[in-house]
A and B are shown apart, each in its own frame.
Chain A
Amino acid sequence: MPKQHTFKVVLLGESAVGKSSLVTRFVRDQFDPYKESTIGAAFLMKVVPIDNENSANLHIWDTAGQERYKSLAPMYYRNAAAAIVVYDITQAASFERAKSWVKELQRQAEPGIVIALAGNKTDLSDRRTVEYAQSFGLLFFETSAKTGDQISGLFTELAKKIPIAAEPAQLQGQSGVNLAQGGNAAGGAGDCAC
């Protein structure tokens, strides 16, 4: 029985690039091309194997548009071990937005966050306007939630890239005194008043 590690993964990207479809395809292996309304599952979990000893329980946050209030976005990606930034290969603007998400994550999110860039809708490659993107040193996949193309590859590779140490633990303190915890660590070289 492999050891299971829990990681938070956030999905970011312009609306209508297929974030929800991507997750639904991955978690439930479903795709409803014409589905008007969606149930709106925004928080899904799926376990993916990492290696023989470890598996990752991915808690996937599909922010479903809330992140468009830019000031709220940091709350969504806080404590996230990984982020998937999605764009639509037929929508150049969505790629520009994706790039700015990547920059924001690199600047603002937890330093160790694993970022994957996903160009979705390869099933519409005849309408492609974004050429195969430079990967910017990130994990990069071109996917199709419709056909399932590269979806599990995306999540599996992402899970493998997350350091196991990124599993949420108590936030680590600094410079010997733990700011986060109300501990009473030995006080160091204070002058004794007596």
Chain B
Amino acid sequence: MEANSISDKTLVDAAMAGPGVNGHKGSEARVSNPTKEAWILQSLRKRRSEFLSTSTIQAFVGTWNVNGQAAASVEELAEWLGFVPPANAPVVVAELPELLVLGFQELDVRAEAFVYNNAVKDGEWTQAVERSLGETRYSYAKLASKQLIGMFIMVYARIDVMDEIVDVQAASIGCGIMGMVGNKGAVAVHLVFRHTPICLVCSHLAHDALQLEKRNAQFHDLCKRLTFSSTEGVPAADPLVPASQQSVTGTGAAVGRPLTVFDHSYLLWFGDLNYRLAVDTGDSEEYIARHEYEAILGLDQLKISILNKQAFVGFEEAKVDFAPTYKYMIGTGEYDAKRRPAWCDRILWWTRPGCDGGVRSLSYESVPSLSISDHKPVRSRLELDVWKVQEEKRQAVFLEVLRELDRYENECIPLATLDSSIVDFGYVYYGKPAKATLKLANTGQVPLEFGFISTPARERSAPEWLRISPESGMLLPGEHINMEFSVFVDSATAMPLSTRIDELNDILILHLNRGRDYFIQVQGDYMSSVFGMSMDVLVHCKRPVRLMSREDFEACLGSGQYSVPVCIWTLTDFLTRFGIDRGYSLFYWKGDSELAWSVRECLDTGEKLNPDRILQWQGEAEGHVARTASEPVGLARGNTANLSLTDQTLVSSSAMQSALSGFALSSVPSTAEALERLTLNPWSAISPAQSHQYEPEATEQQNEEVRLSVSDSDSIAQDQIPMRPSLQSTGGDEALAGSPLPETIADAANIAHDVGVDTVAMVLVDFLKSLPEPLIPTEMYSACVEAGGISRAAALEAMEVLPPGNLNVVVYLLAFLREAVDQGSVSAQRVASVFSTVLLRAPRERHQTPGDNEKAENFVSFLLRSHGEI
């Protein structure tokens, strides 16, 4: 039965291969999961009636061991065949069995027939059989016959069904003397009726009551050795397999593998199987005489072998309701007393799994009246279901079954809905966070694990400027989560965006564990800014950065450069003219963030700083107007549905345009001109203290000061406490000692200041802090701090390695600051305190020591006092 498992496997391969690959060698098409295959087969089988058109045929099967006798008479044969109508009666073709299958044993028992395999009697018997059919003869055509010494099989088909039978093959195997000679063995015929492969085997097995095991062994031997060639295009044994796939049945392990007797839908096995009664109870003749066969059939070796699974396992037989067919005295109906009667002559059948019930017996009997042999002939009328596969319907059912499987599988796959595949932040500005959310819902029936996966363009799952929260997680069915996307461009990420080498967009991959992937596009329009841009590039920019394309940036690098970036000049120029000039204090007060944003926009877009607007800034009131103004022109973009622009304060550009008049690009001044403008103005302290306080990025020391201040004056709100300039004099202020400088909180509170000026000063400091690399490169930090602990000369020496480009800017800034100090707008101490964190930045890897901040301040003080020496 091992053949079964092979064909089961291969037929699925074939079924999966689908149509159109007929004869495609080594087709790799397959459903990879064997359990899935089994399910598909089972489902197809359940629905086979939908694509098989089944009809029923009849087969007459007869077997007769003729004991080497001359051919029987026409009358005798006619009696055996039974269905042949009398000579003058009309032949009703439709009532005749479609198949006529006759098997003989011991047709030729001459010794030379064994030796030379030259048996000649088949012709004699064939003629006798055909004659016995009378007029019916013309209703049949011979399909095949095969003789092996004494064994002879002849198969006839009714002529009207001849067209429906294809691939007729005959085969024979001897398994007698030496296990090879054809005194025992089988002759067989393979045919395909419509789309139903049928195998007919006539066999003669070892005789003698004691040879049971030999008979069983011969059966297995014949099963193994009886084969037919597999023919391309002939239906496979299982109707579930498409008709065109016969060749693919052998695909894979065994292409073109021969068909065994089990590679058929039906296997009819008949002949002198020679099984006897197991033990002599002594009274079997009495039962036989009383026709009580049931009582002794339990002793039948064939029944016992089937029961014990020793041979013919899975075969079926109609009820044996006739006397044992062996051994009679020739010419009589009497048993030969020397042998025990036995049912040697049998007709069995096997149906392939899935074809169960396809063979039914209508009659099963012996013909005791024929006595030319020591065996009585046996005959059976069988009814067989044969089918035609309707290939298109089979294909349709197959697809439906797969779809059904798909549906079940999909229910096990994590399913989710994502409310959009696009995250659009709209306009994104330096240092201003923007947020958006996407809703991910588990709409499947299993827990959903999700996560963003990294791609080769970056090691993280999201670009540097993007944060996702959460980046991974799990949702139970029905749950959902709002994934928050926040974009924040800072000095670490601004440069490629500002110079438009990179864009503020990317594709994220959201992966569902065991499920699908989503591509999520994240996009925003980054508004190029001088903030976060490197000094090297800024000094080359002759146009506002917002207006420059990537090509402009690339082109400008090759052209001449300014000593000082336009943005620095713009800010210091404003402070010189409206801060120092009018006697306001600088770098003590925090400006207005709203106004600061406007100022920054001017730097980026080239809008001119409007002194009237800035100096008359009314803080909250103005800011409120700006905040509630409509979003910037052009902000309304395609998909902003899922966008929540929280925390992002946008000022309408039209509002800004009304506030700030145009900035003439052609009027970019030379550094020389700029320096000339750093004119001195008398300092005056009149205007009352306002509530804006400048807070430089707090160092540890400064934090301590703030804490002290708060504890000193609990009643004062923290944001109203002016930043206290450093109280410890480093002894470096002698040159500036004459100026009326604020040295204490109280002093600072008495100095006039203006929120507009404070704001511009704050923007200057913030801008310098946004440089990706500080004006004095981090690699110089250690040397500078060290010099700050030594002397002015040491500081100047440390500055000698400063790149010339940076030096220009530092010199320019120092000149401006010196001016401010000279004018009394700020103390040298305050400058040192604020600008030590601006000009110098500790490298990340440096281990800071307690005195570092102080030394850094000293270093800046030294520079401030080194006019013309750097």
Q: Which residues of A contact B (CB under 8 A)?
A: 6-8, 29-37, 39-43, 57, 59, 61, 63-64, 66, 72, 75-76, 78-79, 123-124, 146-148, 167-168, 171, 174-177, 179-194
Contact = CB atoms under 8 A, between A and B. Distances in A.
Contact of A171 (B496, B507, B516, B518): B496
Size range of the interface on B? 35 or more
Interface string B454-479: 01111000000000000000000000
Interface in B134-190: none
Contacts of A185: 536
Interface of B: 16, 18, 20-21, 24, 26-32, 398-399, 402-403, 406, 410, 413, 421, 453, 455-458, 491-492, 494-496, 499, 501-502, 505-507, 509, 511, 514-519, 521, 532-537, 539-540, 553-554, 557-558, 561, 563-564, 671, 675, 771-774, 777, 803-808, 811-812, 868, 870
Contacts of A184: 534-536, 771-774, 777, 803, 806
Given A177-B536, A179-B495, A63 B519 contact: yes
Contact of A33 (B29, B491, B517, B777): B29
B807 A180 contact: no
A187 B501 contact: no
B772 A183 contact: yes
23 contacts: A29-B32, A32-B31, A33-B16, A34-B402, A34-B403, A123-B21, A168-B456, A174-B554, A175-B554, A177-B534, A179-B499, A179-B554, A180-B496, A181-B496, A183-B772, A184-B534, A191-B804, A193-B563, A193-B564, A193-B675, A193-B811, A194-B808, A194-B811
B453 A43 contact: yes
A107 B60 CA distance: 78
B457 A8 contact: yes
Contacts of B532: 182
A146 B774 CA distance: 60
A59 B456 contact: yes
Contacts of A32: 31
Contacts of A75: 505-507, 521
B406 A190 contact: no
Contacts of A148: 28
B536 A187 contact: yes
Contacts of B564: 193
Contact of B804 (A34, A76, A177, A189): A189
B519 A179 contact: no
Contacts of A57: 456
A105 B349 CA distance: 68
Contact of A39 (B20, B413, B455, B561): B413
A8 B557 contact: no
Among B18, B457, B558, B564, chain A packs the most CB atoms within 10 A around the CB of B457
A117 to B, nearest CB: 23
Contact of A36 (B18, B21, B403, B458): B403
A31 B517 contact: no
B720 to A, nearest CB: 36
A6 B558 CA distance: 34
B563 A190 contact: yes
Contacts of B773: 182-184
Contacts of B535: 184, 187
A124 B398 contact: no
A181 B16 CA distance: 55
Nearest to B770: A182
Contacts of B494: 182
B808 A34 contact: no
A52 B539 CA distance: 49
A187 B803 contact: yes
Interface class of chain A by DSSP? loop
Contacts of B516: 39-42
A182 B453 contact: no
Given A8-B457, A34-B18, A147 B29 contact: yes
A8 B494 CA distance: 25
A192 B515 contact: no
B803 A37 contact: no
A174 B518 CA distance: 35
Contacts of B519: 42, 61, 63-64, 66, 76
B22 to A, nearest CB: 11
B93 to A, nearest CB: 43
Contacts of B506: 75
Given A124-B20, A193-B563, 20 more contacts: A39-B516, A43-B509, A59-B456, A75-B505, A75-B506, A79-B457, A148-B28, A167-B456, A168-B456, A175-B554, A177-B536, A180-B496, A182-B492, A183-B536, A183-B773, A187-B539, A188-B561, A190-B805, A194-B807, A194-B808
Which of A31, A171, A176, A189 has most B Cβ within 10 Å?
A31
B558 A175 contact: yes
B795 to A, nearest CB: 15
Nearest to B406: A36
Contacts of A76: 507, 519
B400 to A, nearest CB: 10
Contacts of B536: 177, 183-185, 187
A16 B507 CA distance: 23
Given A36-B406, A42-B509, A177-B537, A171 B501 contact: yes
B573 to A, nearest CB: 15
B456 A79 contact: yes
Contacts of A180: 495-496, 499, 501-502
B159 to A, nearest CB: 38
B554 A192 contact: no
Given A75-B507, A174-B554, A59 B455 contact: yes
Given A33-B16, A177-B557, A190-B539, A8 B456 contact: yes
A61 B502 CA distance: 21
B456 A192 contact: no
Contacts of B492: 182
Contacts of A192: 563, 804, 807-808, 811
A6 B805 contact: no
A48 to B, nearest CB: 14
Contacts of B399: 34
B869 to A, nearest CB: 9
Nearest to B496: A180
Nearest to B809: A193
A110 to B, nearest CB: 11
A49 B534 CA distance: 42
B843 to A, nearest CB: 12
Contacts of B31: 32
- By Cβ-Cβ distance, the 7 closest A-B pairs, closest first, are A182-B772, A187-B805, A40-B516, A184-B773, A42-B517, A190-B805, A182-B495
A25 to B, nearest CB: 8
A147 B24 contact: yes
A39 B808 CA distance: 61
A66 B421 contact: yes
B557 A176 contact: yes
A179 B557 contact: yes
B286 to A, nearest CB: 66
Contacts of A8: 455-457
Contacts of B421: 66
A166 B665 CA distance: 41
Given A34-B398, A180-B501, A174 B557 contact: yes
Contacts of A31: 28-30
Nearest to A42: B517
Nearest to B805: A187
B52 to A, nearest CB: 20
Contacts of B517: 40-43
Nearest to A35: B406
A123 B868 CA distance: 83
A35 B404 CA distance: 11
B630 to A, nearest CB: 27
A146 B28 CA distance: 7
B502 A30 contact: no
Nearest to B403: A36
Contacts of B540: 177
A153 to B, nearest CB: 14
